[in-house]
Each structure stands twice: as structure tokens, then as C-alpha cells.
């Protein structure tokens, strides 16, 4: 999920391949299989095993930190959207034109908050992302 903030246009996409991630249980299974299949006459060095465990532990902590940071960014995006409710804004539409109006509603989906804006003439524009907001006034 891409997290946006006001005035920031993000053209980068991150693709995560779920098949390339190894869970802790899978790592332990692989680790035990490696121990069971080693040559008893030429055992592997204990330092290699400890280094692998330490690396996996560090990677797991980094993944957990990343998940928590992603949650904080989602909450920040939601708070930004809520703080805009009822304010006059200027937004850039996909067609390259600008639209002025007041934020009337906020909707949440898997991609984060989207805004519904009502113009002074009474027309509505829906599904505006936070990154499309260029000017905020009272």
C-alpha cells in the first residue's frame, strides 16, 4: 500500500513478492534439515550456524519495524485526511485541470483515504487522493 502525504506525488511502486519471503518457521525447518543432512565426518562450523541465526533474527526485527512504521504512516495519512474535512482546497485532477472546493467526505479503502470535494457551484468530485491536494485554505 502506497502512503501519500499532502503535496507529495509518488510515482514509485513497490512490488513485494510474497513467495520470496521466508517465515521464521520455514527458516527453522531449513536450518534443522541442514543439520540433519550434514556429513558427520566433516561437520559444518558452529560459527556459520550462529551467524545464520543472528542474520535471521536481525532480518525479522527489521521486518517487524517496517510493519510498525507502515502502520504509523497509514495512521498519519488518515489523520491528515481528517484534518482537511470541511476545509477549502485546490486539487489537481488527472486531466491536468484544477478543481476548487470544500472537502465534504472522506472514504477509506485498501489504498488509504480518498476525498470527496464539493465545488461552490454544487458539483462533486470523488476519489481524490491526498497527493492531489495542492492548496489548503480555511
Looking up residue 59, the CATH number of its domain turns out to be: 2.30.30.100
Asked whether the CA dihedral 72, 74, 76, 79 is positive or negative, the reply is negative
The model's confidence at residue 66, banded by pLDDT at 50, 70 and 90, is very high
* Range list of H helices, 42-119: 46-84
Q: Is 84 exposed, middle or buried (0-12, 13-18, 19+ CB in 10 A)?
A: buried
The model's confidence at residue 125, banded by pLDDT at 50, 70 and 90, is confident
Q: How many domains does the chain have?
A: 1
The model's confidence at residue 10, banded by pLDDT at 50, 70 and 90, is very low
Looking at residue 13, its pLDDT comes to 43
C-alpha to C-alpha distances, 23 to 14, 29, 38, 57, 68, nearest whole angstrom: 20, 10, 23, 11, 17
Tell me how many degrees the CA angle 93-80-99 measures, rounded to the nearest 5.
20
Which domain, by its residues, includes 74? 1-6+21-37+44-138
Who contacts 54 (Cβ-Cβ below 8 Å, separation ≥6)?
Answer: none
Determine, yes or no, domain membership for 99: yes
Least confident segment among 5-14, 20-29, 48-57, 95-104: 5-14
Residue 55 or 24, more confident: 55
Q: What is the mean pLDDT of the chain?
A: 78
Determine, yes or no, domain membership for 74: yes
Determine, yes or no, domain membership for 97: yes
Looking at residue 68, its pLDDT comes to 93
**pTM for the whole structure:** 0.56
pLDDT digits (tens, 9 = 90+) for 69-113: 988 988 888 888 888 888 888 888 877 788 888 888 888 887 788
Residue 8 has pLDDT above 80, yes or no: no
Determine, yes or no, domain membership for 13: no
Residue among 98, 99, 89 nearest 136 (CA):
89
Amino acid at each position: 500500500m502506497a502512503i501519500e502525504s499532502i503535496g507529495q506525488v509518488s510515482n514509485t511502486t513497490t512490488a513485494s513478492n510474497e513467495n520470496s519471503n521466508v517465515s521464521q518457521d520455514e527458516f527453522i525447518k531449513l536450518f534443522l534439515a541442514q543439520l540433519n543432512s550434514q556429513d558427520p565426518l566433516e561437520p559444518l562450523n558452529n560459527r556459520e550456524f550462529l551467524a545464520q541465526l543472528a542474520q535471521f533474527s536481525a532480518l525479522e526485527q527489521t521486518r517487524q519495524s517496517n510493519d510498525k512504521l507502515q502502520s504509523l504512516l497509514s495512521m498519519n495519512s488518515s489523520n491528515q485526511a481528517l484534518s482537511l474535512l470541511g476545509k477549502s482546497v485546490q486539487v489537481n485532477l488527472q486531466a491536468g485541470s484544477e478543481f476548487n472546493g470544500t472537502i465534504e467526505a472522506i472514504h477509506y479503502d485498501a489504498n488509504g483515504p480518498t476525498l470527496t470535494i464539493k465545488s461552490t457551484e454544487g458539483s462533486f468530485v470523488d476519489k481524490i487522493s491526498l497527493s492531489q491536494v495542492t492548496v489548503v485554505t480555511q
